[in-house]
Structure 1
Amino acid sequence: MDDLRLSLRLLRAYTVAVDCGSITGAAEVLNVAPSAVASAIDRVEAEFGATLLVRARARGITATPAGRALAARIKPLIETYSDVMQQGYALNQGLRGTLHVGYYAPIAPAFLPHILQNLGDDSHDLNFNVQECDNITAQSGLLDGTLDVAIFAGDELLAGVDTRPLMDLPPYVLAPEGHELSTKSKLGLSDLHNVPLVLLDLPVAGAYVRRLLRAAGVTPRIAATCTSVEMVRSLVGAGAGVAVLNMRPRTEQSYGGDLVQALPLIDGEPLHLVTGRAAGSPRRLVQVFQDQLHEWFAGPEARALITR
């Protein structure tokens, strides 16, 4: 059974007629011809198989008890529809609601909070849901609507995701302060031969580092693997080995309190950091966030997060 055979336009014409007690009066309120109101009433009565309004030439129309009860049930539907439409129009008119952001960029805590806070400073009706995820999960979230926008690295893209490049991220070596590698005037991947390596073993990131080392002819001597950048930094700071990473936070101290240093590499292809969203026209909030994010990445603060 099709429960949507009566449009909201027909139902509204019916309720206005009940309130006005006149087809002509309802037509004036709705700015339509009286025949359109009469037709709407006929359609509603035919659908429910009942006489809902009594027409009297001299007295206009009078709702039956069933007709009044039905009108009372319809009015909240009309009001709810109006609220939904206003909220829908507001998507492109103001910064309000919840922005769902996914990120596969381990150093995102170094830049994302400030950008989100700047966005929220102008609106008390705005809040954020921020989720850490991997490359594919981030894109899947865009496609199924659980994420509005995502920041992720890598070239593996799903159909239906539109991306904009943020920055190329060259690799660097993270080492304990004073490590012997820091004495080299030019450090290359080949210098990591037989050096203990702490590997950030995440999708894309782990395969990326292994690919770099393989291309340089280096067989990694992996001392530890982990899935957290801060754990990598802490293990490096504690002396477990060195790591190959792409972005650095704003501090040279690990969670463990040890000092680490970023050493630029002269070789190795960069990772590509992008923003993505589902194809199609985004709501204004998503567009504004992406624009601010890209503006920030074009400035000096973003360049401070890479090592050259």
Structure 2
Amino acid sequence: MTLRHLQIFRAVCDCGSITAAADRLNVTQPSVSMAIRELEAFYQTRLFDRINRKIYLTEAGTMLRQYTDTMLDQYDDMTILLREGKVFTKCRIGVNISVAETLLPDVIRKARARIPDINLNVLVHNTETIEQKLADNQIDFAILDNVKDSASRNSRIFDTDDMVIVCSPYVYYKDSMTIGELAEKPLLLREEGSGLRSCVEGVFARHGYGMNIIMESTSTLALAELADGGLGFTVLPLSIVKKLEKTLCLKTVKLEDDIFRRSYYLVYNKKKHLTYTMTEFLKAMERTDE
């Protein structure tokens, strides 16, 4: 049995005749009669009594009518919801730790302002993990420092972030240094694979210097506290340093011959099917300074 059989059956019930049902459905009368016969053969019962050229529902027909109305109404509701797409409110995003500590609150605020009923799931991890989750379709969008697989992904600049050298004022008194001088200092850096680490490595590589890393951490706050304690030098987003100035005694040092700066990209797979909620999320994330 198909939905078409049930649609024909309901039309016959509504119209009270085979001929009127055929006219409503814009099909031939034999087609309607055949569908009713197939229904009766399938359920092995009579659905209509035919008396004096009129048809009347049997007890079995009345029962089938009740189920038919329920099923076809649910089918119509499902069709409307799927076509409009507004029923799907889930949106999964992945951000690295630096984004979580700086931009994520604003991302959530913008998303909820535009889509109040959004079901926002957020994954916070390092950049490599976020890249893999995006490739495996375990998240819908990512905010990353760089886009490795640009051929299969859509991306646009979401924000930019300047980073500064940070240390204790008791271990370095100057306001600036060269990349060569920094290469000789004990460095406290984020773990390999993180966006911040990749940015720092890129600057050192451009100038042909290695790095004297004495400690790695997945926690930006831990690096700041260790730098505050005089253990070494770290590189942190300026926005985070400004927030920590009230609780830690940190000195910022300018890099004389280069700059630590990274752009954040909003990324998603080109073949990704975007629901209504996902499309609205993209609109909410558009930059207002462009």
TM-score with structure 2 setting the length: 0.77
Decide which of 22, 32, 42 is 2:26's aligned counterpart. 32
Find the structure with the greater CA-based Rg. Answer: 2
Is the aligned partner of 1:222 residue 2:217?
no
Distance of aligned partners of 1:260 and 1:24 in 2 relative to their CA distance in 1, 3 Å threshold: farther
Shift of 1:273: 1.9
Answer whether contact 2:186 2:213 (CA < 8 A) is retained. Answer: yes
Query: After superposition, what is the alpha-carbon deviation per residue over 1:34-54, rounded to whole angstroms, capped at 9, x for unaligned?
Result: 5354454345456x3634533
Shift in Å at residue 128 of structure 1? 1.8
The code of the aligned residue for 1:12 comes to Q
Map residues 183-222 of structure 1 onto 2, 5 A cutoff.
183-184=175-176, 187-205=177-195, 206-222=197-213
Which region of structure 1 is more displaced relative to structure 2, 208-217 or 273-282?
208-217
- Match 1:117 to one of 86, 109, 115: 109
Alignment coverage as a number of residue pairs: 285
Q: Contact conserved, 1:202 with 1:227, CA < 8 A, in 2?
A: no
CA drift of 1:264 comes to 3.8
Match status 1:22 vs 2:14 = no
1:259 lines up with 2:253 in the alignment: no
Partner Cα separation in structure 1 for residue 62 and residue 201 of structure 2: 74
2:73 is matched with which residue: 74, 79, 84? 79
- The secondary structure found in structure 1 opposite 2:98 is coil
Cα displacement (A) at 1:197: 0.9
RMSD (Å) for aligned C-alpha atoms: 3.5
**1:247-291 Cα shifts (integer Å, max 9, x gaps):** 633734179x31334444332575442111232452333233223
- How far the C-alpha of 1:246 sits from its partner, in A, is 4.8
Instruction: Measure the CA separation in 1 of the matches of 2:27 and 2:73.
Output: 23
Distance change (3 Å), C-alpha of 1:27 and 1:222: same
> CA contact under 8 A between 1:200 and 1:228: conserved in structure 2?
yes
Distance in 1 between residues matched to 2:36 and 2:171, nearest whole Å: 85
Shift of 1:27: 4.6
Aligned-residue offset at 1:103: 1.2
Contact 1:149 1:277 in 2 (8 A): yes
Larger mean Cα displacement after TM superposition, 132-141 or 146-155? 132-141
Displacement, 1:227? 0.9
Q: Distance in 1 between the 2:8 and 2:127 partners? A: 51
The separation in 2 between residues aligned to 1:59 and 1:283, in whole angstroms, is 49
SS in 2 for 1:87: helix
Cα deviations by residue, 1:118-173 (Å, 9 ceiling, x for unpaired): 43235543332222134354344445544232211223227643222334555532
The answer to whether the 8 A contact 2:81-2:87 is kept is no
Mapping of residues 142-291 of structure 1, within 5 Å: 142=134, 144-157=136-149, 160-167=152-159, 169=161, 171-177=163-169, 180=172, 182-184=174-176, 187-205=177-195, 206-246=197-237, 248-249=239-240, 251-253=242-244, 257-265=247-255, 266-267=257-258, 270-280=261-271, 282-291=274-283
Percent identity reads 20
Query: Structure 1 runs of 4+ off > 6 angstroms?
Result: none
Q: CA deviation at 1:198?
A: 0.8
| 1:41 equivalenced with 2:36 (yes/no) | yes
Q: What code does the residue aligned with 2:26 have?
A: V
Q: CA deviation at 1:10?
A: 3.5
CA distance in 2 between counterparts of 1:220 and 1:194 reads 8
Letter in 1 for 2:17: S
Aligned partner of 1:59 in structure 2 is 54
Which residue pairs with 1:88 in the alignment?
A: 82
